[in-house]
Amino acid sequence: MSYLAVIGFSDRDVAFANDLRYFRNGILYYGKRFDAPYGKKVLAFLGRTYPLLKKIEA
C-alpha cells in the first residue's frame, strides 16, 4: 500500500502521484517533456498537497 494512502490521501491523489513518478522517470531517463496543461495540473496538485505533507512532517 502506498504511504500517501496510509496517511489519508485519496485514491485519486495516490494515483496521480504514481503517474508523476512514472513521468518523472521518462523525463530523466528518456528526455520526454510535459505539455503546459499537464504542468499546470501538476502545480495545482503540489500546491494542494505540499502544505498537508508539511503539517505531517512537523
pTM above 0.85, yes or no: no
Place of cell 503517474: 19
Write down the domain spans for the chain.
3-57
Round to whole Å and give the CA distance between 58 and 53: 9
Angle formed at CA 53 by CA 49 and CA 57, multiple of 5 degrees: 170
Closest alpha carbon to 44 in 13, 22, 8, 15: 13
Report the amino acid identity of residue 58: A
How do residues 2-51 score in pLDDT, each as one tens digit?
888 988 899 999 999 999 999 889 888 988 888 999 999 999 999 999 99
